[in-house]
A and B are shown apart, each in its own frame.
Chain A
Amino acid sequence: MQTARVLLPLMSMVLGLLALGAPARAAGSGSATLDAVQARGQLLCGVAGDTAGFSIADSQGVMHGIDADGCRALAAATLGDAAKVKFVPVTAQSRFTALQSGEVDVLIDETTWTLGREASLGLLFGVVNFYDGTGFLVKKSSGVTAAKQMDGATICVLPGTSTELAIADYFRLNNMKFTPIEIQDIQQIRGAFLSGRCDAYSTDASALAAFRFTLGDRAGDYLLLPDIISKEPLGPMVRKGDDKWFDIVRWTSYAQITAEEAGITSANIDSFASTNDPNIRRLLGLEGDLGKAMGLDNRWAYNVVKQVGNTGEVWARDITPLGVPRGINNLWTKGGLLYAPPMR
């Protein structure tokens, strides 16, 4: 039994090696990653798997959240089927290696787009799928209504995130003091904050809003301060050196934004089949060869919107239930930052 156990994976490994060598070159869309995805018939998508609103498994093990839906949109664009995704749970420590080593095709893991990461990791950010920022949650009874009033406060933070740096910078800039309490586990942070061990709980504002929402009837006792003290644009990452794949990741997101701008949803998309609007006709692949130029089917954007929905639908499905207002994550026409370049 011992030998069988070792032999089986070994044999499959050797076979895998043999199989990998050949087809990667043959197809030749110009993108090694796209070729690999299409040859495999499945997108390998790195997600956190434990963050509400971004990627979290429900009781049946199905992934939900905007990151998970980002993976599905990419699968719809590249393979024509949003279900052809394999979610690979990654941790904060292992995520970049997972992408660098090719364990995943794309990493959609609420990673903050920073210069340091893009310059040093050999990876780059495709687009922003969520504009976040560090915020503070406090008890209403404490009387604090602005971050500037928090001199001397004890603040609960998750270690290993950019939150702590952001808070330290902010307090130093304003000549204030604070005591961080680092707690790894969301369960324990919750306990520490609710029992009053820390005066404030600080992390990305979206997570704070979601946390407040879980308090149910007691949510009213807690206040999310209006100050957002850092920029945390979150988005999907790809490997450097595969520009066509980068294009696909970026334009899949833009296609969803464009669809929302044009009022196209997964429900009404088929009613646009006979539209005269040339922009929509190009988006849906009814004319022109935009999809082919990217190495995809011309109906790629149609598949994305039909199967996953536009940006607004994804937001309504994944984020709205958490009680997070759309704010700057709205379309540019509605006071937000979402702005897609023209698809022509």
Chain B
Amino acid sequence: MSASHSSSVERAPTLALGAPLSRAAFWLRSRLFATPVSAVVSLALLYLLLRWGWDFFGWAVLHAIWQVPHDAAGLPQTGVCRAAEGVGACWAVVAEKYRFILFGFYPYAQQWRPAICVLLFIGLYAASAQQRFWRRELALIWAVALVLIGALMWGGFAGLPLVADDQWGGLPITLILATFGLAGAFPLAVLAALGRRSRGMPAVRMLCVCYIELIRGVPLISLLFMASVMFPLFLPAGVDIDKLLRAQIAFVLFAGAYLAEVVRAGLQALPKGQSEAADALGLGYWQKTMLIVLPQALRQVIPMLVNTFIGFFKDTSLVLIIGIFDLTTTGRTAIDEPAWQGFGNEIYLLLAAIYFTFCFAMSRTSARLEHLFSRGQRR
């Protein structure tokens, strides 16, 4: 094929059937080395990629320290890691601290409980993303699993010691805040969006507009501050509403306002004929909304919904300012200990990997859903 001067477009069909090697060569030539300029750019990028990749590989794998010795008292001796600072990664810090990072102040001996909860959460997400599980039973499974998660985290029965929720921390906190936050925010958002568009009820509309604009008008941090710092001052002395619950409510309100606008965008995009047709069929308002309007409107805005979900998942790390130890905070605290100070890169890489896994999974799921739902519109 190297002798051939015919254009790649003409050759494509035959090459696609050829050996994998020639297919790869064709792909390289047509995508990376099509013109002299792109060849130079490709080579330069390839060089940088290899160089940095090799440097990173050397740091992260070749010269990395995987464990450190412990002294007689069981304290880690981080001298080896200090000596390798800048040359090799100190993954020993992860080995030493991963349980604290994942579970925070949850009693050490009981940490299998939040571990199971995290697995349950992941199982729920995975099941919910599969089309074949979309049945009525799924709602039941969610309800049972969430009750189970709550029971496991709190304990206080069957010999499990009670663990108050201010001792929870790490990944379970992040997942709880995100899951319950979105689960609570979504219905709220749909109601607020419908309310904002309702013509017949100006009072309801004003209320929804006020809620959405007020919440969107302030940063999440100030909402969290209100919930954690201001709110207790209004309560009578001695009365204390759970801090996690206050933060959770702030999250629901915040996410609800943003999602409401996303949902409203979907409602706006729906042709008027749809609801008119529903009216002509004699459907009531709720029938029309639930059966005709919302299914179509929500389908339109899946990318935006997931966009908000992803942003919101990462926003949960802001609870650090009110003293709740979510995943990011436990990671930061782990490297405050003098013996491990200075090994932040390793910890932050770990955190980034965890966040990326969840966010990437969300984004892939959203792509799949889009594909699935757009089946009817493809021609």
A-side residues, CB < 8 A to B, are 1-2, 4-5, 8-9, 13, 16-17, 20, 24, 36, 49-52, 56-62, 86-91, 93-94, 97-98, 100-103, 185-187, 190, 210-211, 213-218, 321-322
Contact = CB atoms under 8 A, between A and B. Distances in A.
Contacts of A185: 332
Interface string B286-298: 0000000000000
Interface string B233-257: 1010111111101000000000000
B200 interface: no
Contact of A97 (B167, B233, B337): B233
A61 B107 contact: yes
A101 B227 CA distance: 13
B341 A8 contact: no
A5 B242 CA distance: 13
B312 interface: no
B221 to A, nearest CB: 10
A190 B341 contact: yes
Interface in B329-369: 332-339, 341-342, 344
Contacts of A101: 232-233, 235, 237, 240
Given A5-B146, A61-B107, A322-B338, A20 B321 contact: no
Interface of B: 78-79, 82-83, 96-97, 99-100, 103-108, 139, 142-143, 146-147, 150, 164, 166-167, 169, 180, 183-184, 187, 225, 228-230, 232-233, 235, 237-243, 245, 320-323, 325, 332-339, 341-342, 344
B238 A24 contact: yes
B246 to A, nearest CB: 10
10 contacts: A1-B147, A9-B242, A16-B239, A52-B338, A57-B105, A61-B106, A93-B321, A102-B237, A187-B342, A216-B78
A43 to B, nearest CB: 14
Nearest to A24: B238
Contact of B338 (A8, A16, A17, A213): A213
A216 B83 CA distance: 9
Given A2-B184, A103-B243, A216-B79, A60 B100 contact: yes
A79 B8 CA distance: 84
What is the predominant secondary structure among interface residues of chain B facing chain A? Answer: helix
A1 B341 contact: no
B108 A60 contact: yes
A322 B164 CA distance: 32
A322 B166 CA distance: 29
A66 B167 CA distance: 21
A51 B336 contact: yes
Contacts of A213: 338
B225 A93 contact: yes
A127 B167 CA distance: 28
Residue of B139, B187, B341 with most chain A CB atoms under a 10 A cut-off: B341
A218 B82 CA distance: 9
10 shortest interchain CB distances as A-B pairs: A101-B232, A1-B143, A187-B344, A60-B108, A216-B82, A214-B341, A61-B105, A214-B338, A97-B229, A50-B336
A94 B228 contact: yes
Contact of A91 (B100, B322, B338): B322
Contacts of B233: 97, 100-101
Nearest to A53: B338
Contact of B238 (A9, A20, A186): A20
Contacts of B139: 1
Contacts of B166: 86, 88
A45 to B, nearest CB: 12
Nearest to B242: A9
A190 B345 CA distance: 13
A263 to B, nearest CB: 25
Nearest to B77: A216
B243 A9 contact: no
A103 to B, nearest CB: 6
Contacts of A57: 100, 105, 333, 337
